[in-house]
Structure 1
Amino acid sequence: MEREFGLGRVLEPKGVFPPIAWRLDTDRKIRRGEARIRLELINIEWDSFQQICSSSGYAEDKIRARIFDIVEKRGKLQNPFTRSGGVLMGTVEEVSPDFDAGVAIQPGDRIYCLTSLTSLPLHIDEITEIDFDYGQIRCSGYGIIFETSPVYRPHRLLNLSDKAMLAAFDESGSIYGSYIAAQEQDCRTVAILGNNLHTMLLYAASMREAIGPEYQVIGIVDDYYNDNISREEIVRVLTPLIKEIHFVNFSEPVKTYETLKQDLKIRSPIDMVIVTDDIAGTETMAVELVKNRGAIYFTSFDSNYNIAALCAEALGKMVISYAFDQFIDGFLDFSRQILYVLAPKLEEIDGMYRSYSGSRHQVQSRAKSRAVENAGRDDGFIYQDIVTRNMVEDVLNIAHYDCNVIIQGETGVGKEKVLELIHQNSERCAKPCVRINCATIQENLAESEFFGYESGAFTGAQAGGKAGYFEAANEGILFLDEIGTLSMNMQSKLLRVLQENQFYRVGGTKQISVNVRVICANNVPLRQLVDQGKFREDLYYRLNICTIEVPPLRERRADILVMAEFFVEKCNKRYGTAKELSPGALNRLYDYYWPGNVRELENVVHRLVISTRGNVIGDEDVDALLNESAYGDLVRSIRKTYDRNDRLDFHQIMEQQEKRLIEYALKKEKTTRKAADLLGLPQTTLARKKLKYGL
């Protein structure tokens, strides 16, 4: 009989493996081939932890809320942006009688479970501590493990803290993989790139085991992340396992490499480079450092592997790339061996982390708080329709290319949600995302708002001057909503900044340089405004490197169902209610036209939850509200169009609505024949009305 791996716990979608599933069943009652673990400590995969911290501004309450949100929605700890999880440590509470994991466990045993938390049902009751150095949370709750889940019971002779042990075991499969790769390539000199000191030590120990006494390991450390620990202390804890240590800025890999190659004391060709963290720039530096026909080992499956391949091709280098592989036979024994050797050093690092924990991350939190001040906090993108799925895949692809983007779509379709997806998945995810609604900026203040001003630049200027939007967004993203409302004069000044990445503050004489990714949005297609002479064509082409069309809700109707239920649940949490939509109510919502798109859907659901007296929202409740909304929207539109106060002209109203319907059908179907079929009209009738209304 095959061993249990959790297929029966998959709720959505049915028939897929647990790591791929959107949601798992967290029922605490164990089934055949399962065991329940009382949670004590979770090591979150490092890239995932960094993304959660960044999007939460390093504020502990927001980090807790974000982790709770992920686990509650998915029934497991799997960050939707990095798609990674972590590993857990806890105490066995209950084991099914037929549980056969290859290691005998029983209630009361403390264990480390080395299966990724992307595969295990998880329920968290409380998070009592967040450790920023290890990327761990101390928590209560439970997890369900399966027969295929590798487990390790702590050895009494291995005197290491739980935090250091769990962090090491989370890397164990990849560490062993690097050992095998170094032997296959007959390596002698290896460079390790990263920012986690304990992780770098683990890979250095692996290289010593693979190569022998003649091994040469160069450590290249991210200077930014470790800028609150003295370099002397870092060198002390990494030596002698790492022979030579350099501190660099990974964000400027080409410039940094030119300096680094002059400073290297070890002159032997670098046979292999190990990239231990998914930091932008490490992949480029790895390609520059490694010899021709050398190897690059990526320890994270969410690394910029493809960028490294392109860089190698550009340099004319043949590079052998190794990808992270969690399950390699023998990795657990190898990890234990490494831990016995490294125990004193890992405890030394653990003590150093503790000595800095009080001040280090407070400083880091303050430094990053402004960077995420304008960034999205709710990064969930709810969808089910294949149209939206294809769009999201395009967005995630575009996010990795640091180019300007135009997001187009009707009001309320979710353009800012697309912005959040781009920001969280781009190399600028830890930098500012400054959001500006151009329609709210007064023309006479636009230049000072965008570029800032010096003291005394004009009457009423602040004494110390003021930074503008471009300076606030430096190294990050500047989002310009309703960019089409900017004057032609302001458009020309914006074009100049995009071309030169430099500008002067109002009243200033010093040229300021910035590095900003501009993403803009507009309800009316910018190409249409260009054709109308309302938008500069040269600015349009500067911005239009990539265009993302966000389809209206009526063109992705499968999303209506999942979004409606999501909004109901959101309201239930807010008001402490237990409302739900009946099948008939969902059908009514599905069939509605939704001129206001997602924003209108959320508003309607919110009103339904409040106005419905029972717990079940029925189709009649939806009908009443939608008819009321439709009437109100129609009257407001008509009054705006005809500028009437009390009396309305019936024939004018009907003609206007007829024109809108025909205009929509022609836009959607592209041809008069298909548009006529959509409206149930003869093609000749539609053609005649099209001519009548000048469409």
Structure 2
Amino acid sequence: MTSPVGLHRVVEPVGVLPQAAWRLDASPRVGPDEVLIDVERLNLDAASFRQLSEKHGGDGAAVRAEVLEIVTSRGKMHNPVTGSGGMLVGTVRAVGPESPLGLKVGDRVATLVSLTLTPLSVDDGLAGWDGLGEQVPCSGHAVLFARSIAAVLPDDLDPRLALSVLDVCGAPALTDRVVRGYAAPTVAVLGGAGKSGSLALVAARRAGAARTVGVVPVAGERERLVAAGLADEVVLADARDPVGLSAAVAGALGGPADVTVVCVDVPGCEHGAILSTVDGGTVIFFSMATSFAAAALGAEGLAADVSMLVGNGYVPGHAEFALGLVRAEAGVRGLFEARLAAD
């Protein structure tokens, strides 16, 4: 008997949900409400890829070997250090008769649920990947549950571009929702030149932000974000330096931001985000590098009356919303395409 949330795929420890499990059963048999995907590409999340790359000093072969070991031993791509994974693109091979996902055999899809809870098997040893970029061409299979989410890839966008956008599509949708709850707020996006950050900036502007600032750590990213024209101001600051970050945001906006969106892929940015946000404002943590204990205790220690949201990656309609932003905004599309070219 299958479970709509995948409990039947949990090997150890029994009784937890697939995301919390150490190991999943990735066998290709299809349950009545499951979907089997032939995998062609993984997209590792930024925090996970950065951690692996830094651990191995940029040695792509070593990164590739560790990713393969994780998938082989765990039956899913679930980085044990960052707790994060990514998503994938593939073609539907089989659909159980009771699947509610609306997919059919032959559909080319991107999964909109994390690889940390997706049963996954790789059969080519990742031979086509050099370990130097987040996108991982590969051969294998994956399984979706009744409560999984997937989007059929659009015909008008390069599949690699669509995958990159869909990997972070929850960020702009949640930013849109939060910004619309204020009357012309100021918005700061930490990591504004990245995938989720650039989309969040566009979403904030379209949702009615009075002024936006993109925060980046290095001059090259500042130049790219300025050229893209996605923010009213672009400032250079280390998001791990609370005092320096808050001063940079206040200097650009004339005071703390009403809404701060954290889209960085390094740890230690919680206190700076809180200090950069006005009392009564909102911080959206959209980074798998976030320590939520640090965020909660930091807000308490700073006597900061801010609402803090965990970006959970799912907002109804988030996939088409993000793809629409990329179609409509040449600046954000250019940033994504440049990143893909560099990979």
> TM (normalized to structure 1)?
0.46
**Residue 326 of structure 2 corresponds to residue 327 of structure 1:** no
Q: What is the identity percentage for the equivalent residue pairs of Structure 1 and Structure 2?
A: 29
Is contact 1:35-1:92 (8 Å) kept? yes
Separation (CA, whole Å) in 1 of partners of 2:45 and 2:27: 25
Q: After superposition, what is the alpha-carbon deviation per residue over 1:87-122, rounded to whole angstroms, capped at 9, x for unaligned? A: 110111222333331x2322x221111121122110
Is contact 1:250-1:280 (8 Å) kept? no
**Residue 21 of structure 2 corresponds to residue 21 of structure 1:** yes
Residue number in structure 1 paired with 2:151: 152
Unaligned runs of 5+ residues in structure 1 are 358-695
Separation (CA, whole Å) in 1 of partners of 2:15 and 2:302: 44
Separation (CA, whole Å) in 1 of partners of 2:130 and 2:15: 35
Matched ranges for 1:157-556 at <5 A: 159-194=156-191, 196-211=193-208, 215-223=210-218, 229=220, 231-237=222-228, 239=229, 241-258=230-247, 260=248, 263-264=251-252, 266-267=253-254, 269-300=256-287, 302-342=289-329, 344-353=330-339, 356-357=342-343
Separation (CA, whole Å) in 1 of partners of 2:65 and 2:181: 45
Deviation at 1:2, TM superposition (A): 9.0
Is contact 1:190-1:216 (8 Å) kept? yes
Matched ranges for 1:596-635 at <5 A: none
Residue number in structure 1 paired with 2:107: 109
**Aligned-partner residue type, residue 125 of structure 1:** D
Is contact 1:48-1:84 (8 Å) kept? yes
Deviation at 1:310, TM superposition (A): 3.4
**Residue 41 of structure 2 corresponds to residue 44 of structure 1:** no
Is contact 1:120-1:145 (8 Å) kept? yes
Residue number in structure 1 paired with 2:140: 141
Separation (CA, whole Å) in 1 of partners of 2:240 and 2:266: 8
Separation (CA, whole Å) in 2 of partners of 1:325 and 1:261: 25
**Aligned-partner residue type, residue 159 of structure 2:** D
Change (3 A) 1:68 1:285: same
Residue number in structure 1 paired with 2:71: 71
Is contact 1:189-1:268 (8 Å) kept? no
Change (3 A) 1:283 1:57: same
**Aligned-partner residue type, residue 152 of structure 2:** R
Is contact 2:30-2:95 (8 Å) kept? yes
Separation (CA, whole Å) in 1 of partners of 2:325 and 2:250: 33
**Aligned-partner residue type, residue 158 of structure 2:** S
> TM (normalized to structure 2)?
0.89
Match of 2:123, SS state, is: strand
Separation (CA, whole Å) in 1 of partners of 2:298 and 2:215: 19
Is contact 2:238-2:245 (8 Å) kept? yes
Is contact 1:23-1:73 (8 Å) kept? yes
Is contact 1:19-1:119 (8 Å) kept? yes
Is contact 1:191-1:217 (8 Å) kept? yes
**Aligned-partner residue type, residue 200 of structure 1:** G
Change (3 A) 1:269 1:196: closer
Change (3 A) 1:219 1:118: same
Q: After superposition, what is the alpha-carbon deviation per residue over 1:582-619, rounded to whole angstroms, capped at 9, x for unaligned? A: xxxxxxxxxxxxxxxxxxxxxxxxxxxxxxxxxxxxxx
Whichever of the two has the greater Rg, that structure is 1
Separation (CA, whole Å) in 1 of partners of 2:141 and 2:205: 38
Deviation at 1:279, TM superposition (A): 2.6
Q: CA RMSD in A?
A: 2.6
**Residue 113 of structure 2 corresponds to residue 124 of structure 1:** no
Separation (CA, whole Å) in 2 of partners of 1:242 and 1:230: 13
Separation (CA, whole Å) in 2 of partners of 1:123 and 1:2: 19
Deviation at 1:277, TM superposition (A): 1.8
Task: Name the one with the larger strand percent.
Answer: 2
Change (3 A) 1:3 1:22: closer
Is contact 1:173-1:332 (8 Å) kept? yes
Task: Name the one with the larger helix percent.
Answer: 1
**Aligned-partner residue type, residue 210 of structure 1:** A
Q: After superposition, what is the alpha-carbon deviation per residue over 1:115-166, rounded to whole angstroms, capped at 9, x for unaligned? A: 2112211011232135756x2211111111122221111222xx33323321
Change (3 A) 1:8 1:192: same
Deviation at 1:6, TM superposition (A): 2.0
Match of 2:180, SS state, is: helix
Q: Which has the higher contact order (CA 8 A, sep 6+)?
A: 2
**Aligned-partner residue type, residue 173 of structure 1:** G
Separation (CA, whole Å) in 1 of partners of 2:341 and 2:116: 32
**Residue 77 of structure 2 corresponds to residue 90 of structure 1:** no
Unaligned runs of 5+ residues in structure 2 are none
Deviation at 1:355, TM superposition (A): 5.5
Separation (CA, whole Å) in 1 of partners of 2:190 and 2:310: 15
Is contact 2:188-2:249 (8 Å) kept? no
Separation (CA, whole Å) in 1 of partners of 2:91 and 2:279: 49
Separation (CA, whole Å) in 2 of partners of 1:187 and 1:283: 24
Is contact 2:48-2:79 (8 Å) kept? yes
